[in-house]
Amino acid sequence: MPHVTDAPTPPTAPSAAAGRPRVLSGIQPTADSFHFGNYLGALRQWVALQEEHEPFFFIADMHAITVEQDPRQLRERCLRAAAQLIAMGVDPERSAIFVQSQVPAHAQLAWVLQCLTGFGEARRMTQFKDKSSKNGEGAASVGLFTYPILQAADILLYRPAFVPVGEDQRQHLELTRDLAQRFNHRYKKTFRLPEPYILKATAKILDLQDPHAKMSKSASSPGGIIEMLDDPKLSAKKIRSAVTDSGSDVRFDEEEKPGISNLLTIYSALTDRPVSELEEAYAGRGYGDFKKELGEVVVEFVTPFRDRTLELLEDRATLDEVLRSGAKRAAEVAERTLADVYDRVGFVPA
């Protein structure tokens, strides 16, 4: 298995609209900046997917409010997420980039699907158990409980051929397929059953200070996480201070050298140089040189990204327009599906 992400080669299928298969993916606006794990583990694929697909990429603000959010911060983070997506290469011409709450069909379909979901079935979703375990189930919102059903609506509205999902989302996609099948069976064939496209070859980025845990916005210490919008000099410093073992051999070995292996994964992902080539290039040179040069690679990568994001954030009118037009494109597709659904369940036309 490769150490780093290869450009995805998802299954293809005939598209409804543009002659390209539709693909749908979302990300929550729950931090001021995406981090290297988000980028190398997920968002980089978004850029690649738009080459041969018709993508609908959304910022999941409705999912975000399943736990308490500061309203001003939430709004700001949605815009920051959009700016970062564009800065990393998601092209608003080829991909519809939109904010979930701007397409009301998501909430509308979610309600219909909730009425098709068994309570016990929803209960079996393990992510709710994980996420609510900290403060106890009683303190969790009903929104957090029904989150996978909203996710099913997000997907089914666009009748995509496949959905890129991480291993942790597999169970939710199964629920999506079950609900689609149930609806099709009870009423009339309306939904396409989306295939999971498990992004197996993606890089899993580990915490720089604790290379046994994944890099994560909620669990990593400031020194363990590289935020895409960090000052590039700070990011280079974090790389130089990353925890490694007491040896000096730059070699990929997840068991014995998790820290160095993680840095090799990052290096390889940012430069597209195979890990074996990097091992050769740094043979006999020690960790100091390796970390310093990886720091330079990181600076070179994040500087233009950060500049572009900040520039986009200065130009709110353009950003608003991108989101408005993305929402319009998304709504055109979503509302067609919703109209079929409303008709089939027996709602009186408005």
Closer CB to ligand ATP, 218 or 246, in the complex: 218
Selected from 38, 50, 66, 100, the binder of ligand ATP by CB under 6 A is 38
Interface with ligand ATP, residue 302, by CB under 6 A: no
Residue showing tokens 């073992």: 245
Q: Binding site annotation covers 205? A: yes
Minimum CB distance to ligand ATP, residue 93 (Å): 24
Q: Binding site annotation covers 37? A: yes
Minimum CB distance to ligand ATP, residue 142 (Å): 20
Q: Binders of ligand ATP: how many residues, by CB under 6 A? A: 16
Minimum CB distance to ligand ATP, residue 304 (Å): 22
Minimum CB distance to ligand ATP, residue 171 (Å): 14
Selected from 204, 251, 273, 336, the binder of ligand ATP by CB under 6 A is 204
Selected from 28, 101, 146, 176, the binder of ligand ATP by CB under 6 A is 28
Paired tokens of 76: 């700001």
Q: Could you give the count of Cα atoms lying within 13 Å of 157 in the half-sphere of its Cβ?
A: 32
Interface with ligand ATP, residue 134, by CB under 6 A: no
Q: Binding site annotation covers 223? A: no
CB atoms within 10 A of CB 137: 12
Minimum CB distance to ligand ATP, residue 133 (Å): 14
- Residues with a catalytic annotation lie at 131, 214, 217
Selected from 10, 26, 29, 41, the binder of ligand ATP by CB under 6 A is 41
Interface with ligand ATP, residue 215, by CB under 6 A: yes
Rounded to whole angstroms, what are the CA distances from 8 to 164, 180, 202? 10, 26, 9
Closer CB to ligand ATP, 27 or 163, in the complex: 27
How far is it, in rounded angstroms, from Cα 213 to Cα 262?
11
Selected from 72, 136, 218, 348, the binder of ligand ATP by CB under 6 A is 218
Is the torsion defined by CA of 271, 272, 275, 281 positive or negative?
A: negative
Closer CB to ligand ATP, 117 or 265, in the complex: 265
Q: Could you give the count of Cα atoms lying within 13 Å of 48 in the half-sphere of its Cβ?
A: 16
Q: Binding site annotation covers 190? A: no
Distance of CA 229 to the CA centre of its chain: 17
Sites for ligand ATP among residues 154-183 (CB under 6 A):
166
Residue nearest to ligand ATP (CB): 41
- Beta carbons within 8 Å of 108's beta carbon, 6+ residues apart: 338
- Draw the binding track, 227-266, toward ligand ATP (x: CB under 6 A; -: no contact): ----------------------------------------
Contact 79, 321 (CB under 8 A): no
Stretch touching ligand ATP by CB under 6 A, among 69-77, 210-218, 310-318, 319-327: 210-218
Stretch touching ligand ATP by CB under 6 A, among 30-38, 177-185, 231-239, 294-302: 30-38
- Euclidean distance between the first and the last CA atom of the chain, given in angstroms as a whole number: 53
- Beta carbons within 8 Å of 235's beta carbon, 6+ residues apart: 226, 227, 295, 298, 299, 302
Would you list which residues are annotated within the binding site?
28-30, 37-38, 154, 166-168, 205, 214-218
Q: Which residues bind ligand ATP (CB under 6 A)?
A: 27-28, 35, 37-38, 41-42, 166, 204-205, 214-219
Would you list which residues are annotated within the binding site for L-tryptophan?
154
